[in-house]
Amino acid sequence: MSPHLSLLRNLPKYLRPSAPRSSIRPLGRALHGTSIAFAGHLPPRNAGFKKIEEQDRAFFRSILPEQAVRTSDLGPFNTDWMNKYHGKSDLVLFPRTTEQVSKILKHCNDNSIAVVPQGGNTGLVGGGVPVYDELILNMSAMNKIRHFDSASGVVVCDAGCILESLEETLGAEGFITPLDLGAKGSCHIGGNVATNAGGLRFLRYGSLHGSVMGLEVVTADGTILDNLSILHKDNTGYDLKQLFIGSEGTLGIITGVSIWTPPKPKSVKVALVGLDSFKNVQATYEKTKTHLNEILSAFEFWDKESLKLVLSHSIQGTRDPFDDQYPFYVLIETHGSNAEHDDAKLQGLLEDLMEGGEVVDGVVAQDESQSQSLWGLRESIPEACSKAGAVYKYDVSMPQSVLYQLVEDMREHMRSKGALGSKVTDVIGYGHVGDGNLHLNISAPKYTDEVQSLIEPFVYEWIQGHRGSISAEHGLGVMKGAVLPYSKSPEMIGYMRKIKEAFDPKGILNPYKYLPLTESK
């Protein structure tokens, strides 16, 4: 054991979390009341869509229970949880069954009524709220677990199941959900699938494209697609469910999800290390993969500017576990089946890193409470960013070798424009190194068109130049539909339009979003 490696055996009380991890919410409630311009992308209301009339409401009342048709106090459904995107719908429906969803959509399609599907409303790109007066189809009343098979680990459930509830039910059976998000207390599994959520366990349990076994979907004309397979292998035709994963409700409404769940790890370890360069973050990732390999479940990094923000706002009572500050921090988590083996692997890694000089200092959590404290530092960053006044958030992915260069280049760009330290408070970077996923946040005293125009299109051009993606895990929604061409070719977008046309020829599902708008729609 290297003498430089301090251990958290007696972690001070201040590092104990004040709230369980699951209640930590991502991104700033502090944004409340602040509205961000849609950068000129928002089109006028499509006059082809019928305005909902009394006869439509009467139809919906005829097929749904009374409390499933809501026409007043719709503020929370018209507004995303950041209070950034605002719709004007005057009807929210809460279907209980797939058949009800089918009848609703058939009526809407027959009458050209636009529909926005809504899950837990925790999205970050405005995909789950109306742009104008679209009917809101809220899935929260479809929240039953239908079936669980412990032999295969496959659970089949309604789309409106809250991720955390699902995790709790699975936990009693000795399993966990393959994804974990800060928003898990509110988000729906159906919404997770519809947005292809990534999150904190992606490195270990992979993409939803691999873990979702089947879906039940209702398409625009009310057709029910029963593809709720529980099979790991099924090569019978085009894998249609894959299209709905990440389609953000534009092709159909997911009503049921069949998903593989991993066994609950018997041992979970968390370590935090301090490093002096991003090059060493990369070198540390290389060594971590070698030592931890099959038990590695998370490799998260943040820069000193991120930590400074967290500490200056004393989020969740967080405190720096180190005496000194370091340019970079990395949180390493393992999920394994044998605590003794996992300990040995983690110790081996940390000794190798200290001896090799890749890390300068490190701490290892000794119990779940300490683990939560270290995770708390990571999970407090979004909230801390928002407290700085205004924050411009970009969720991007790119080859790991240039992952942090975007932050440095953006900082230099702002400096060269004379904005850093005045119009822009700070440029910070954090995210999922193993997934090549950077969260670039630019904090400022307030939202201004000037700052916006300093960031865009600079950030998108940079990402395009480095063959990155302008949306790693947050999706497109209303925020990024127009800038899709920075990541996808005209040919790709052309075929996407054909897909949309095949599933939703009238374009009633989640309009004004996702794809760049054409003249006609």
Tell which positions 144-173 bind a second copy, by CB under 8 A: 149, 151-152
Q: How far apart are CA 426 and CA 420, in angstroms?
A: 7
**Does 503 engage in binding with a second copy (CB under 8 A)?**
yes
- # binding residues, a second copy (CB under 8 A): 94
Site residues for a second copy, window 429-458 (CB under 8 A)?
432, 434-437
Part in contact with a second copy (CB under 8 A); list of ranges 18-26, 236-244, 373-381, 410-418: 236-244
298 DSSP β-pair partners: 333
Contact of 230 with 258, CB cutoff 8 Å: yes
**Does 234 engage in binding with a second copy (CB under 8 A)?**
yes
Site residues for a second copy, window 23-62 (CB under 8 A)?
none
Part in contact with a second copy (CB under 8 A); list of ranges 16-24, 68-76, 92-100, 467-475: 467-475
Indicate if the alpha-carbon torsion angle 150, 156, 162, 163 is positive or negative: positive
Is 387 or 513 the residue whose CB approaches a second copy more closely? 513
Least distance to a second copy, CB of residue 151, Å: 5
Is 84 or 291 the residue whose CB approaches a second copy more closely? 291
* SS3 per-residue string spanning 460-487: HHHHHHCCCECCCCCCCCCCCHHHHHHC
SS3 320: coil
Angle at 503 between CA 499 and CA 504, to 5 degrees: 110
* SS3 per-residue string spanning 150-199: CCCCEEEEECCCEHHHHHHHHHHCCECCCCCCCCCCCCEHHHHHHCCCCC
Least distance to a second copy, CB of residue 144, Å: 19
Cβ atoms within 10 Å of 407's Cβ, excluding its own: 22
**Does 268 engage in binding with a second copy (CB under 8 A)?**
no
Residue carrying structure tokens 């992979």:
206
Residue carrying structure tokens 């305005």:
51
84, 474, 506, 513: residue in contact with a second copy (rule CB under 8 A): 474
Site residues for a second copy, window 358-397 (CB under 8 A)?
397
84, 291, 387, 439: residue in contact with a second copy (rule CB under 8 A): 291
Q: How far apart are the first and last CA of the chain?
A: 64
Angle at 178 between CA 211 and CA 270, to 5 degrees: 145
Angle at 196 between CA 192 and CA 201, to 5 degrees: 80
Q: How far apart are CA 180 and CA 40, in angstroms?
A: 34
Site residues for a second copy, window 182-211 (CB under 8 A)?
195-196, 198, 202, 206-207, 209-211
13, 144, 341, 415: residue in contact with a second copy (rule CB under 8 A): 341
**Does 400 engage in binding with a second copy (CB under 8 A)?**
yes
Is 317 or 485 the residue whose CB approaches a second copy more closely? 485
224, 268, 311, 517: residue in contact with a second copy (rule CB under 8 A): 224
> Sheet harboring 212-219: ordered strands across?
145-149, 154-158, 252-260, 212-219, 224-227
Is 74 or 283 the residue whose CB approaches a second copy more closely? 283
Least distance to a second copy, CB of residue 39, Å: 17
Part in contact with a second copy (CB under 8 A); list of ranges 76-84, 86-94, 337-345, 357-365: 337-345
**Does 295 engage in binding with a second copy (CB under 8 A)?**
yes
48, 65, 399, 465: residue in contact with a second copy (rule CB under 8 A): 399
Q: Which two tokens stand for residue 388?
A: 């700085």
109, 247, 255, 371: residue in contact with a second copy (rule CB under 8 A): 247
Least distance to a second copy, CB of residue 243, Å: 6
- Contacts (Cβ under 8 Å, ≥6 apart) of 403: 278, 431, 433, 436, 438
Least distance to a second copy, CB of residue 276, Å: 19
Is 285 or 394 the residue whose CB approaches a second copy more closely? 285
**Does 405 engage in binding with a second copy (CB under 8 A)?**
no
**Does 475 engage in binding with a second copy (CB under 8 A)?**
yes
